[in-house]
Structure 1
Amino acid sequence: MSHSVRNSIGRGSGPGEGSRGTFQNGNRGGSPFAGRGRGMGRGLGRGREEMSNEELEQVKTKQYNVLLENLQSSALSYDGSDKLVFVSGDRLEGAWRGLIRKEFRDQQQMRWFITSCLLDADKQTGVAVETLVEQLGNPELGISRIREICQYNMSVDAGFKKNFASFQCVILPFLALLIRHGVRGSTLEKQLNTIYSVVYSYIDSFFHDKIMRCLDELVRRNSLLDRNVDKDKLLKNDPDIFIPSTFGQPFLILARFLNELLCRIKEASVNDTVHKIVQRLQDASNVWKDSLLAERQSISGSEDALVSHPEKRRYYFDILDVEMRRLNYVLSDGRRSLNAAKREANKAEISETVLESRKMAKMNEFERLYDPPGELSKYGPRHDNDFLEISKIAVIPTKDEILASREPSLPSFMLDHPDFLPDGISRLLDMQFRLLREDMLNPIRLGISRFLIDLDKDKSKVKKLREEGGRFRYDKGDISGDLNVYANIRFVSINVHKYRGFISRVAFTPPKIRSAKDEKYRLQYWERSRKLMNGSLICVLWQNENGNSLNNNETNPTPTYSLYFGVVVEKNERLLSRFETEAMIDIHFIESSIYPIVLEDISMGRNHPARVKRFMVESTGVYFESYNHILKTLQGTNPSDVPFRQYLISPLERQYTQVATPLYTRAPRFHFDLSILLKNHGDSLLLNVQDETSKENAIKKLSTPDVSTLDETQSRALVDALSREIALIEGPPGTGKTFVGVELMKVLLSETNRKATSIGPILTICYTNHALDQFLECLLDNNITKIVRLGARSKSDRIKEFYLDTISRSRPKISHQGFMLYEAFDKLEEIKKEAVKLQDKLSRRWMTWDDVKNYLLVEHTGHYLQFADNHGPDVPALLLNIDSEEFDQNEWTIVGEEKMKNQPIWDQWINGVDIRRREQLIQAIYRNQNVIEKKASKKRKDNQDISMLQSNNMYDFLMNVPRDGEEDGDNEDDEDDEDENEEDYSEDDVNNDNLQEIDSTDNIENDETEYWLQKLVIPDEDRDLEILLEDLDVWNMSRIERQRLHDHFREATRKNIIDELSDLEKKHTAKRKEIEDINDEGRREILENCQVIGLTTSGAAKYQSLIRSVAPRIIIVEEAGEVLEAHILSSLTPSTQHLILIGDHLQLRPHIATYTLSVDSQPGEYYKLDRSLFERLVNEDVIMSQLTTQRRMRPEIADLIRKKLYPKLIDGI
């Protein structure tokens, strides 16, 4: 038997670990091509023995059996192509590294490349997959090969043609590669987005014109066969080739690829070609389904593997329907977004939704007051952060938003109330985002506005706050709150940190505390205080020069103060407590416009007189970090990615309240093994969730005291939770909610069930860190130890060793990963250097020529030419420190001291060098004239001829007047000396008295200089800026005019510099995200290999991208009755198939900061923000399991809650 055949048939693919797409090899002796570099792959396929007919049948049988196993696997329902395209061939492992470096010779080389990539992708995590994704996203390597594939000729009958790629054997595996779990789940987002963007750029030619044409042709034929070569010849030629055996493979591959493309390329949802592709795919799948179900196809021997297996066919159809519904949903949502954009662009157009809203506004008070957001409002946007689409809204508020007089637009949960969006997931996400953000923003907005009002009125209660800070309390009807006010702030430094970005250090007067003189007590205070915690939102109130007071409308302050929002990046307690009179904190500011203020303040130092009029404030009732990640996740969530849409939308849109079984449990012959719950471990108990009889039998057996530790309601709740894709378990205190949750985990994580489902890690979410630690400790007590805890606020010593960061640090860095990190950090250092240069420009009082020349060239070309003309400035060299022979348009050689050499002409204009020179010349003329007059007077007395004195060459004289920095033999004592020694004075002394002799022709033409000398005046005008901008005679501007014009140019270029700095900050943030993605690739490997991922709801949002890469199928939420609906929505991923909510909606509701949004307040009846998803689904009659036997309270105490809340509650033994 040949080596290749042994590889092929030696791999097994069952429903467990070894079936993710690659045949598992029992003899991995190493690839003959391993370790080859450039040129690798030239010898592929050579020297192979001819495959015998017996070996051929073995390969075909093995591939067919693998396909049948995969079609009934739970893992088929998971995202990706791992169960759709399976390849073999150890000989090709690593061959892609050589093939990626040059163009493909033919379709066979292209196929080898794709097969080799699939082999590495099937490893799912680790250096092989990381390297593969990084190289595929490399513009010079993988991207070039992807472009080749997209541009290659394509045919369903490619046979062995070199210049055609087979749709069945090349293109389908290529698309399967891009949606492989190991590839699409990678955290290297930059590379993946590049790959999908390149494919999207060929959406017309590659996908619509070629792929869909090939698919339509195969469906028309009702056959996947290549007419130019039969399957046997293909396999004999290349035993590693993939050949599809059912139309189910291409349809599901194409549907999943398009879903991934739409997820990554947002604009694709409004692309007409994509809409046509999806419609053609839907039509073709319907034709195939009809033919598959037709009576003539029911005979055995059909080439489609799904024909003779009705259970597998129904299961496959369920999966395909899920993918197609998701596709159609995202496309319809894209159309709605496009229509919204058109409405926004055409403000005069009134949408039908708005007209309907105005019509409904007559219904009651809320409807009458309803005013849509953004451009749909009849009054226009409320402020600069008021948009229709939540994706455009900045999570952190703007100054304009804080000071806006109009109330924000808030959606209502009331089903018959108007909204600019139709019922559906988009409306749900919009509603949750706006209400949750208002809950965060309202205390901050009211606090700052009230504080500014009191500051302006100079009330006595803020007098102390002005001097030393403290707590500011405000009260407005149903809303009250506190602000922590920090006074006398100043900026100490600004830095670009490689992990935290652009950071400003702020100093302020610390709060008054006892024993403040002792640093030890100050340190203890800050360690215990919840002030200025990491992630807290702060606002700097910076008094403007010449700021006005408030208007009569006290809710709309005019710019007495500018507002700058920032986030605390590090609470360093030692830095806060080091000095008695000053504390310091590091802040990342959101707006780059604050940087000039920061730099100027740093230059002013500690004793700036305006410090007493500056403040930094934070809201005491809102912790920004707990909102930020949730809000950003809601913003970035594609409605089509939200699972369980049919249950989450409003009851008016819901078609049914019956809950379906989880998709992965619909696999043929699937069952849960419940034996782990039995006291006698030798007994067996199986549960088929599709069979009601099986469910009742399981409940009955588990309820038997001698069989398990579960009571009847706990048994029913457990079976129901396993049988419903969204399960609710409600229980009063003491009924064993956590116990049932742990028993569920034992079932799902048992070895038998994990092998049957390949389910991957289970996501366990709690609202608080304390509850999460308790639940994880319960799992440890039950020998479930493959746990990873995300976040680092656990107080449990048992859990600390399971921190993700702790595990990550103990793992060695991969060399390739280290190289990628080195490149990324090197780029960060370049960005930092550029930022330092820009900061230096902003901090300089006077601009250099390099600072201003590009701006002048574009905006003020006439002025630019005055300083950069190749012929020199329109002023003679006599008036400047230049040597005409060494004149250059950028630099001028200075005659004088060494330190003044190479001074640009711009600098001389700013410094008024020409004006000082004129002053010297005029002074020299007067002095020289006095000497001449004295000599002339003497000669007249002696009756001498004075014509020689009067005809002296004034030009020669002025050319020899000393410049700045040159020594002048003339001084104030010369005239006295002359009076004493008149008889020794000659004509040469009058003309050249101790002056340096320079030939005028060596500098500039005499007539030009004499022209300037004739109008030699000192410019002293003070004209307006508008005149100066039109006046190109820059050399006749006075000093104050030059400063005015310079400051105008400086302010204009400052805006450009701030924009550049902002761009650098964005690049820095993007590069840090890239570094985080690289590190996440290692973290993903850890999570993929664990059984339980534990985190809080805010942590689930914070680590959303990492969690998505792992693609958890099951989520269990403890304390679900105390978790806001927005938190649950942000925890869901497209891969989620099973959501189990455990809680009690009759106990504590979720905590919110704004009372007027609460169910308990009168206005809150419209919003119900603190109503959990658990409570909403219960109230909307989604089926729920209830625990009724309590074992914690004494009966007389239980009676207190039994009568009012839990009438079915019974007392256990």
Structure 2
Amino acid sequence: MTSQSDVSGRAGRLRKLFNDVTNGKRKISTPADAQLFLEAVQNRQPPSLCIEIIISSSSGLEAVRSCVLADLTSAFIQYHTLKFIGYIYSWSSHNRQRFGAPLRSLSEEALRPFAWLVLELFLLPSKLGLDVLKDVHAIVKDGSLTQATSHETRELGYKIQKALQIRSCPSSTDLTNSPGGRHENDFADFREIAIYTTMDEFLATEKPFYRRAGEVFEVESAERTGIHLDNQFRLFREDMLGELRSDLQIASGRKKGRSFALKLGKLTPFSIETGDKNRGKKYLLVKSPPIVLLQFTDSQALSKDLLALRSVESVQFILVDTPVFAYEPVLNGLKDMVDLPLQEALLDPKSTNVSYHPVAGVRALVSKLRSVAEDETIGFRSNGVKMDQSQLDSLLNALTTPVSIIQGPPGTGKSFIGSQVVKWVHKLSDQKFLFISYTNYALDQFLEELLDVQIPSAEMVRLGSKFTPRTSPLLLFNQKGEYKRSKQSWAVIESLKADREDLVEELERVVADYRDFSISFDAVMEHLEFSSEDRHFFDAFCLPTESSGWKRVGRKGKKITVREIKPTDRKELLVRWTKAMIQDRVEAVQAITQKLDDIQERLDDLYNEDKVRILQSKRIIGCTTTAAAMYNKMIRAAKPDIVLVEEAGEILESHILTALAPTVRQLILIGDHKQLRPKINNYALTVEKGDGYDLNRSLFERLILQGHVHTALCKQHRMHPEISMIPRALTYPDLLDGPRTLERPVVDGLQDRVIFVHHGHPEVGVNEIIDRRDPTTNSSKQNDFEASMVLKCVRYLGQQGYKTDKMVVLTPYLGQLRLLRDLLREENDPVLNDLDAFDLIRAGLMTPAAAKVEKRPLRLSTIDNYQGEESDIVIASLTRSNDSGDIGFMAAPRAT
């Protein structure tokens, strides 16, 4: 019987709202309506009846559709939409055996929203804990979705089928070489693998599981996507672990090499940092004794280390320099991928089934460009520049294919073509671009080109912290949005903050319990009382004194005692009990920190809502590949249509794959696979090693080698022909010179544009510096004579009137880079780019503070880290030995 309070109170009002909506008497028109209806649904009991009412009612299905689209803020999704999904999932989990029958009984109209919901559930990140894999298997097996009358329903069914194939594809058909079983972090499903290594994994001697690149493309196309993502994850993670293992082995003395690793020992747990408003943490080291902050990678690592700090006499922490920050976002991105946009074009490059249809405005431009291409007398000008035939072909390629590849030798105008693509698509459509590059230099250069072609700065945003004077206004933190947080959103934030404060207090209590724990009889007894394994010891310790002469006995009439246990066994028992009691306290700490992390992630999402709104309002988002992975969640919320990649020949495939949001319809790759490949640290995985793993083969190069259609720019507009003859003879036989390159002036004070200086002063090995990417040597190289000669050249060119910002000094070796920096900074304070500065910091040859000091602009770089940059005068210190001595090189590519 229903009480009066139920009828007139909130529950009654929710019941009436549910009935009015499902009967078509009321519509869902606002987020507030949606919130109330979702609450009303979850308030109905039993769930099976509620679901049947919604499914059988067209108004109910329309209401559900309106609710999930009413408010796309992360707060609403997390606290209302996902709770509703969890309600449905809870119902379906209890009715799995009946799942086939309701599906077949659904009307055609009901099947489509049902299919959409199933797909959305299945695509949710695994960390949310909604395991619907078995349900989706049952739905796909039923076949109702792919056999539906509605094309939209069938299309959703095919997407579900594809996502299922990706997630459940077999990892290996070779049982002798398959994943799993090597250690506690080795799984067949790569999504279960923790990003950071465990101790057993570090100590494992068996080779990790990963495939050669060719093996991936030998499998059936239906399974290829899942296997490809699996292999990209395993190889990229192994690149991170390879360097980490090497650093740890050198630091621990298990491998020869010079170690700069800082070692911390004799640490005692003090407290836990929860990220409160107190920001005086940098002064902790001056306390007596000093306090060191340790950040743990995950809750499992926290648990193991807290246990070790209280259970092991001497725990030593070793600080290594592996740049894990560059790996973690990409690896997590790969784990979250259950769908790969453009997968047929990316994984079956010769497929004839791939098609792309530009939007209406762009189609009109394509038609015009094709007419121009057929009649070369017409010509096509953009921004006052007449395009040559190769540029025109490349522009057409970028506008008409789902995966466009444009290859360009140095100086042929790759960035120019990229800016033209963005300019015309921006002008003729409402599509959104995500632009990514490998370096900040290339990113800023391209954004400036977009400004030059009159794309409004108000429609662009730059992610990251680096900038130039012109791109500074584009930075995300310099943008001001008009987003106003709702009262509901503020209420959720305040509620989460209150929950967080309560958890912080509870955490401080359990940490104190962990820190101050000491062994005592009472503590042992409390532990033994609840122990399933050692409860009989509790009974033994609790033996009462019997006045009647009776004795309590154990099995077979034997007297219960503990004194008969050998002293060594007693000691082992005490150690085991102590460890278990510490473990209990560690688990309490771990549980609360996990809850705190979850709350913090939810708060971060809420605080980022204004940033998401800014990104959603922009037509062009620019960032480096690392930033694309770090800001992945916000970028996906912005729903880009086109991803354009500069320096694509230098970027690892995994970086590009994780940048492909589900909304991406087109990928444009611009680069040159004949220059530098992507950098990796594990030589065993390189193309050069020849074992077939090919991790440093870019997506750009792979597609070209596999026969994907591409265009090539053929006319360079940068170098005088006396200089361009060198790359033409070495790599680009068809390279043409633009007419204006003949007008480049000579360099004052020099006899020629290209000068080779021969000398007989040999280089020397630098044992304390290792060029990590050169496995053929255990040391780097330097040449004092050449360094002195470079300094004299810089001085001489300065006397001819050339400023140092027009020069760059290059060298292949880190040892020579260090020597040149030390010598040149006496007069010029040379500027290192980010990559070289990091290499010197990691080698212990430069402090992080020194890397951030503003300096006079004489650029100094290793050759590998100068890809994509330009300068008027190049001085290269090669220090290469041969029978007659070393060689230096000087060139003047262009003059201003």
Letter in structure 1 aligned against 2:416: F
Q: CA deviation at 1:108?
A: 3.7
- SS of residue paired to 1:1146: coil
Q: Does the CA-based 8 Å contact 2:528-2:537 persist in structure 1?
A: no
C-alpha separation between the residues in 2 aligned to 1:581 and 1:1053? 28
- Structure 2 residue aligned with 1:426: 226
Q: CA deviation at 1:797?
A: 4.1
- Could you say if the C-alpha distance between residues 723 and 494 of structure 1 is closer, same or farther in structure 2, counting changes exceeding 3 Å? farther
537, 544, 558: which one aligns with 1:874: 544
Q: CA deviation at 1:1181?
A: 1.5
- Structure 2 residue aligned with 1:227: none
String of CA shifts for 1:112-170, please: whole Å, max 9, x gaps: 69832xx33xxxxxxx5xx7787777xx656336986972555xxxxxxxxx8764343
Is 1:655–2:345 an aligned residue pair? Answer: no
C-alpha separation between the residues in 2 aligned to 1:646 and 1:420? 12
C-alpha separation between the residues in 1 aligned to 2:283 and 2:384? 59
- Structure 2 residue aligned with 1:616: 318
Letter in structure 1 aligned against 2:66: L
String of CA shifts for 1:1151-1203, please: whole Å, max 9, x gaps: 1111221112233xx11111110111111121112222221111222222223
Q: How does 1:1008-1087 map to 2 (within 5 A)?
A: 1048-1087=576-615
C-alpha separation between the residues in 1 aligned to 2:479 and 2:521? 53
Q: Does the CA-based 8 Å contact 1:728-1:1183 persist in structure 2?
A: yes
- Structure 2 residue aligned with 1:644: 342
C-alpha separation between the residues in 2 aligned to 1:825 and 1:255? 37
Q: Does the CA-based 8 Å contact 1:735-1:1188 persist in structure 2?
A: yes
- SS of residue paired to 2:622: strand
Letter in structure 1 aligned against 2:187: F
- SS of residue paired to 1:1095: strand
- Could you say if the C-alpha distance between residues 1184 and 579 of structure 1 is closer, same or farther in structure 2, counting changes exceeding 3 Å? farther
Question: Structure 2 regions of 5+ residues with no counterpart?
Answer: 740-896
- SS of residue paired to 1:796: coil
- SS of residue paired to 1:170: helix
- Structure 1 residue aligned with 2:871: none
- Could you say if the C-alpha distance between residues 849 and 326 of structure 1 is closer, same or farther in structure 2, counting changes exceeding 3 Å? same
- Structure 2 residue aligned with 1:372: 178
Is 1:588–2:264 an aligned residue pair? Answer: no
String of CA shifts for 1:253-280, please: whole Å, max 9, x gaps: 4443332122138643332674258611
Letter in structure 2 aligned against 1:856: E
Q: CA deviation at 1:1114?
A: 1.5
Q: How does 1:63-462 map to 2 (within 5 A)?
A: 102-104=14-16, 107-110=19-22, 115-116=27-28, 119-120=29-30, 128=31, 143-144=42-43, 151=50, 153-154=52-53, 167-171=57-61, 173-177=62-66, 180=69, 182-183=71-72, 188-189=77-78, 191-203=80-92, 209-210=101-102, 212-216=104-108, 253-264=113-124, 267-271=131-135, 274-275=138-139, 279-285=143-149, 323-333=156-166, 336=169, 353-354=173-174, 371-374=177-180, 381-415=181-215, 424-454=224-254
C-alpha separation between the residues in 2 aligned to 1:1057 and 1:802? 49
Q: CA deviation at 1:411?
A: 0.9
Is 1:1140–2:635 an aligned residue pair? Answer: no
Q: Does the CA-based 8 Å contact 1:167-1:211 persist in structure 2?
A: no
Q: Does the CA-based 8 Å contact 2:481-2:614 persist in structure 1?
A: no
Letter in structure 2 aligned against 1:655: S
Q: Does the CA-based 8 Å contact 1:212-1:277 persist in structure 2?
A: no
Q: CA deviation at 1:1119?
A: 1.3
C-alpha separation between the residues in 2 aligned to 1:702 and 1:202? 65
C-alpha separation between the residues in 2 aligned to 1:113 and 1:848? 69
- Could you say if the C-alpha distance between residues 1115 and 335 of structure 1 is closer, same or farther in structure 2, counting changes exceeding 3 Å? closer
Is 1:672–2:672 an aligned residue pair? Answer: no
The percentage of aligned residue pairs carrying the same residue is: 23
400, 415, 424: which one aligns with 1:738: 415
Q: Does the CA-based 8 Å contact 1:259-1:327 persist in structure 2?
A: yes
Instruction: Give the RMSD, CA atoms, in angstroms.
Output: 4.6
Q: CA deviation at 1:1143?
A: 1.3
Letter in structure 2 aligned against 1:406: E
Is 1:1161–2:689 an aligned residue pair? Answer: yes
- Structure 2 residue aligned with 1:911: none
Q: CA deviation at 1:390?
A: 0.7
- Could you say if the C-alpha distance between residues 1129 and 585 of structure 1 is closer, same or farther in structure 2, counting changes exceeding 3 Å? same
Q: CA deviation at 1:767?
A: 1.4
- Could you say if the C-alpha distance between residues 174 and 390 of structure 1 is closer, same or farther in structure 2, counting changes exceeding 3 Å? same
Q: How does 1:956-971 map to 2 (within 5 A)?
A: none
String of CA shifts for 1:500-526, please: whole Å, max 9, x gaps: 99x9xxxxxxxxxxxxxxxxxxxxxxx
String of CA shifts for 1:319-363, please: whole Å, max 9, x gaps: 7765443222123345546xx7xxxxxxxxxx9x227xx7xxxxx
String of CA shifts for 1:289-348, please: whole Å, max 9, x gaps: xxxxxxxxxxxxxxxxxxxxxxxxxxxx6x7765443222123345546xx7xxxxxxxx
Letter in structure 2 aligned against 1:672: V
- Structure 2 residue aligned with 1:687: 365
Higher deviation after alignment, 1069-1078 or 848-857: 848-857
C-alpha separation between the residues in 1 aligned to 2:723 and 2:524? 79
Is 1:634–2:334 an aligned residue pair? Answer: yes
C-alpha separation between the residues in 2 aligned to 1:766 and 1:599? 47
C-alpha separation between the residues in 2 aligned to 1:857 and 1:697? 86
471, 490, 500: which one aligns with 1:799: 471
Larger radius of gyration: 1
C-alpha separation between the residues in 2 aligned to 1:1077 and 1:113? 36
C-alpha separation between the residues in 2 aligned to 1:713 and 1:1211? 13
Letter in structure 2 aligned against 1:109: V
- SS of residue paired to 2:186: coil
String of CA shifts for 1:1030-1062, please: whole Å, max 9, x gaps: 986689999999998665533222222223322
- Could you say if the C-alpha distance between residues 441 and 106 of structure 1 is closer, same or farther in structure 2, counting changes exceeding 3 Å? closer
- Structure 2 residue aligned with 1:974: none
Higher deviation after alignment, 764-773 or 841-850: 841-850
Q: Does the CA-based 8 Å contact 2:406-2:713 persist in structure 1?
A: yes
TM-score by length of 2: 0.69
Letter in structure 1 aligned against 2:583: K
- Could you say if the C-alpha distance between residues 580 and 866 of structure 1 is closer, same or farther in structure 2, counting changes exceeding 3 Å? closer
- Structure 2 residue aligned with 1:510: none
265, 272, 292: which one aligns with 1:489: 265
String of CA shifts for 1:10-35, please: whole Å, max 9, x gaps: xxxxxxxxxxxxxxxxxxxxxxxxxx
Q: CA deviation at 1:772?
A: 1.7
C-alpha separation between the residues in 2 aligned to 1:398 and 1:447? 15
Q: CA deviation at 1:1204?
A: 3.3
Q: CA deviation at 1:794?
A: 0.6
1171, 1182, 1186: which one aligns with 2:712: 1186
- Structure 1 residue aligned with 2:425: 748
C-alpha separation between the residues in 1 aligned to 2:418 and 2:681? 30
482, 503, 507: which one aligns with 1:835: 507
Q: How does 1:514-913 map to 2 (within 5 A)?
A: 584-588=292-296, 590-598=301-309, 614-619=316-321, 622-638=322-338, 641-649=339-347, 655-656=351-352, 659-662=354-357, 665=358, 670-672=360-362, 686-687=364-365, 703-704=380-381, 709-750=386-427, 753-754=429-430, 759=431, 761-781=432-452, 782-787=454-459, 789=461, 791-807=463-479, 814-843=486-515, 844-847=517-520, 849=522, 853=526, 856-859=529-532, 860-862=534-536, 864=538, 874=544
- SS of residue paired to 2:187: coil
Q: CA deviation at 1:425?
A: 0.6
Q: Does the CA-based 8 Å contact 1:787-1:1091 persist in structure 2?
A: yes
- SS of residue paired to 1:648: helix
Q: Does the CA-based 8 Å contact 1:179-1:256 persist in structure 2?
A: no
Q: CA deviation at 1:394?
A: 1.3
TM-score by length of 1: 0.52
- Structure 2 residue aligned with 1:236: none
- Structure 2 residue aligned with 1:1117: 645
